Amino acid sequence: MYQYTQVDQQIVNERVEEFRDQTRRYLAGELSADEFLALRLMNGLYIQRQAPMLRVAIPYGLTSAQQMRKLAHIARTYDQGYGHFTTRTNLQFNWPKLEEVPDILAELAEVQMHAIQTSGNCIRNTTTDHFAGVIEGEIEDPRPWCEIIRQWSTLHPEFAYLPRKFKIAVTGSQQDRAASQVHDIGLHLVKNAAGELGFEVLVGGGLGRTPVIGKVIREFLPALDLLSYLDAILRVYNLKGRRDNKYKARIKILVESLGIEAFRELVEAEWQFTRDTELKLTHAEVERVKAHFTPFAYAADAAEDTRLAQHLAEDEAFKIWYERNTRAHKVPGYRCVMVSLKPQLGAPGDITALQMEVVADLAEAYSFAEIRSTHDQNLLLADVRQADLYQVWQTLSEHNLARANINTLTDMIVCPGFDFCALANAKTLNIADAINAEFEDLDYLYDLGDIQLNMSGCINACGHHHVGHIGILGVDKKGEDWYQITLGGSAREDASLGKVLGRSVAADEVPRVLRVILNTYVELRQPEESFLECVRRVGLTPFKEKVYAADH
């Protein structure tokens, strides 16, 4: 993974001292609350319902074992012993003390981490496919490009006060596990007819109050032109994006109102000024960054192991976990191991300090000391020898990290909702608990196959409900929590927005309604047809009829 140079370290260190000074001035009353707000947001610090919340950047979801141990240490020392992984693959601490945040940032800097630009109206953490570099059929590993974007966007002097936050995702294969089509900019690594590397560039995707699928602004951007083109898009947006209404300030609204053609013309015109300047990447710089992401020294004889076959034959629970929570690796004899942060009891994406340490130890012993956090709020040990899987599973099981539910209904994406978030309309964690209680029978879940359930506590859509196969949105009706249900969304390469099923339902009705929806699917499905395919084929009407049958 990327290792800081002296320059990277200096930037992070200076930033810590700068924020220490800003915090001091704020606490001394020299800096207004409003002004400090913009500054603390740029350092990942929110004030939430209960306490401040600090969001630590995990660039493109990659952490070392050492960094994970540091996060565990911070959780224990400065927080209540746990953290929460977000869909931006970042980690949130829910209970830090404002005056201790500079110390936390200093601790992070010791392990090449920071919280820069994890909030505020600036360019946020760039995300990517969590299987980057380890799956078959990839055009190229997207992570070096993410790192290049990270460096370019970090403390960018011109793009720190954009109309609204700005999110970029990069994919390296035909498959999209980074929800790139619902990002402000989605970048897809592609090759042109001449075999040259470049990007297909999408712009103006997003969720929130006005969900939109991104549009292609450029079918092929030569790879070395990446930053000059991003610069052009950002400058047009910074100058022309709306600033009078925060719900209309994202780039998607600008693109929609101008139309993609007119927007493209503006960007291309701006780009002509910069494409052949120092913004053009050099081969040497790209190679320098790529050198940090070379494949590990995989054991040539890993596939000769026979223990895996034996354990699979002997231990049914292990076999189920293996089938559900591990994925193919491009190197024979290795597997990718999903670490489920979706236990039966507990908030999706939460992880205790001890669990962080357990995962760090496992990574060190079995997966080249690296851990990835995923868009769907799980962790991944990407490079585990098959011979070690049994041991890894046993340890994960002991620590409640091996629930064999990856990609099933209970592998939900859920935002923290009303329990933590000051913007929420409704609770989400109690609904997640109720769903876990209603659908604890794993055999039933396996029979249902892959289902992505996404839930948000308000229209800001941090839980990506629009693009869940099943989406749940908390709404406030006269002080009570109600839930609107959508069906048919997808964040993958076949991205689509879910459609509203009908009137919203009360909190205690959600599990029953889900049960009816799933039973309807089981009745209607054709052989091998997934939930999403079925919804797309039959439409919402049959589901609507069953769910609201009692109303008639």
Partner 1 sequence: MPLIINRQLQNVDPWTRLQSVEGESLSWPETKALISGTDWPTWAARCPAKLELGVSITADTTLEDLTPWLDRLSLIEICFEVFRDGRGFSLARLLRRAGYQGELRAAGDVGQDRLAYLERCGFNAFVLPEGRDPLQALAAFEQIQVHYQGAADDPRPIYRQEA
Identified binder of partner 1 from the candidate list 136, 158, 301, 398, rule CB under 8 A: 158
| Residue showing tokens 């359930």 | 453
Nearer to partner 1, 15 or 248 (CB): 15
Map residues 220-249 to x or -, x wherever contact with partner 1 holds by CB under 8 A.
-------x-------x--xx---x------
User: Binding to ligand SF4 by residue 507, rule CB under 6 A?
Assistant: no
Rounded CA separation 37/32 (Å): 8
Cβ density class 178-216: b for 16+ within 10 Å, e for less? bbbbbbbbbbbbbeeeeeebbbbbbbbbbbbeebbbbbe
Nearer to ligand SF4, 379 or 461 (CB): 461
Render 167-215 in DSSP notation, one character per residue: -EEEE-SSS--S-GGGSSEEEEEEE-TT--EEEEEEE--B-TTS-B--E
Identified binder of partner 1 from the candidate list 117, 121, 386, 456, rule CB under 8 A: 121
- Residue pair 147/60 in contact (Cβ under 8 Å)? The answer is yes
Q: How many of the chain's residues bind ligand SF4 (CB under 6 A)?
A: 13
- Residue pair 375/89 in contact (Cβ under 8 Å)? The answer is yes
User: Binding to ligand SF4 by residue 413, rule CB under 6 A?
Assistant: no
Identified binder of ligand SF4 from the candidate list 144, 343, 457, 488, rule CB under 6 A: 457
Of the chain, the end-to-end C-alpha distance in Å amounts to: 59
Say which entry of ligand SF4, partner 1, none residue 198 contacts (CB below 5 to 8 A, set by partner kind). none
What separation in angstroms does the CA of 286 have from each of 81, 145, 201, 356? Answer: 39, 8, 19, 32
Map residues 246-285 to x or -, x wherever contact with partner 1 holds by CB under 8 A.
---------------------------x---xxx--x-xx
Identified binder of ligand SF4 from the candidate list 61, 204, 241, 463, rule CB under 6 A: 463
Positive or negative, the Cα torsion across 136, 137, 141, 143? Answer: negative
User: Binding to partner 1 by residue 287, rule CB under 8 A?
Assistant: no
Nearer to partner 1, 2 or 93 (CB): 2
Nearer to partner 1, 238 or 326 (CB): 238
Nearer to ligand SF4, 371 or 431 (CB): 431
Identified binder of ligand SF4 from the candidate list 416, 468, 471, 488, rule CB under 6 A: 416
Judged by CB under 6 A, the stretch of 196-204, 460-468, 525-533, 542-550 that binds ligand SF4 is 460-468
Q: Please choose, from the candidates 142, 120, 92, 90, the residue with its C-alpha nearest in 3D space to the C-alpha of residue 19.
A: 120
User: Binding to ligand SF4 by residue 424, rule CB under 6 A?
Assistant: yes
30: which residues sit within 8 A by CB, 6+ positions away?
none
Identified binder of ligand SF4 from the candidate list 232, 462, 510, 535, rule CB under 6 A: 462
Rounded CA separation 377/379 (Å): 7
- Residues binding ligand SF4 (CB under 6 A): 415-417, 421, 423-424, 456-458, 460-463
